[in-house]
Amino acid sequence: ARTTGGEDPCRLRRAKRERGEVHQAMNRLNKSQKEKVRHFQAITDCNESLAASILRSNNWNLERAIEYVFAEGMEYSNIKPAVLEKIFKEYKDKDEDLVMAEGIGRFCDDLGVDPSDPITLVISRYMAAATMGEYTKDEFFRGFQRLNCDSVSAMKKKLPTLRKELSDDDKFKDTYEYAFGFSREKGQKSLTLDTAIGMWKLLFGIYEWTLCDSWCDFIETNHKKAITKDTWFQLFEFAKQFGDDLSNYDEDGAWPYLIDEFVEWRQEQEGMKA
């Protein structure tokens, strides 16, 4: 028998059971593994179950798992490598097999965007680019393949759709979290203070967190150190949960100490104004 909507009840029950199994499987993962699943999804667009499976088969090595899934994806791409090779050569450095700052500038010109436009972060995320200011050949190819673009003009037509990701909470979070690793200097675990502040002002200018300037003033005055991954990630959750109203902030919550200190500093500032 089928439901009035034409759905097969057996299929519905099976789908419900599979969702339950995925939920149970995720609950069995530790905190580090869940974080890797989230990062893997942000870069590859895989669902939770597939992301966990691929990570597990790669011994939870995030970088190796990402390389694996994109290597597999390249094999099935409809866009011929020769087409992408031609595009890559238009922008690559004359001495290095990379698209460097000058080439990225020309690439942005051809896309009709400023290099400082946040949309470039979205494009870089699709490329899974590891370092700001350069694209490897694999990264460059990957971006075009994931977006199914066989030309720069085709990618330009997709910009309105990609820009919508910046106004979607979940997609914005993906880009925000990606920005941390992308903006770090090579070999560093933390983000330099100046870079972190610049990125916060860029990203929270889109997200419209009104306390961003206040947070940056606090960090510059009181912290004066590099920003850790935990602080970077948790700040978005803090901004999302509280906005500009800190009256319900619980100092006993599991927030980084830096956020605790900011709330205290902010409340003192507000008290002085009163």
The model's pLDDT over 225-267, given as tens digits with 9 standing for 90+, comes to 999 999 999 999 999 999 888 888 887 778 989 999 999 999 8
Q: Are residues 156 and 137 in the same domain?
A: yes
CATH of the domain at 61: 1.10.8
CATH of the domain at 153: 1.10.238.10
Tens digit of each residue's pLDDT (9 = 90 or more) over 175-191: 999 999 999 998 899 99
pLDDT grade for 55, boundaries at 50, 70 and 90: confident
Structural domain boundaries enclosing 48: 9-74
Residue 1 covered by a domain:
no
Q: Are residues 175 and 187 in the same domain?
A: yes
pTM: 0.72
Q: What is the DSSP string of the chain?
A: ---TTS--HHHHHHHHHHHHHHHHHHHTS-HHHHHHHHHHHHHH---HHHHHHHHHHTTT-HHHHHHHHHHHHHHT-SS-HHHHHHHHHHHS-SSSSEE-HHHHHHHHHHHT--TTSTHHHHHHHHHT--STT-EEHHHHHHHHHHTT-SSHHHHHHHHHHHHHGGGSHHHHHHHHHHHHHHHSPTT-SSB-HHHHHHHHHHHHHHHT-TTHHHHHHHIIIII-SPBPHHHHHHHHHHHHHHTT--TT--TTSS--HHHHHHHHHHHHHHHHH-
Domains: count for the chain: 3
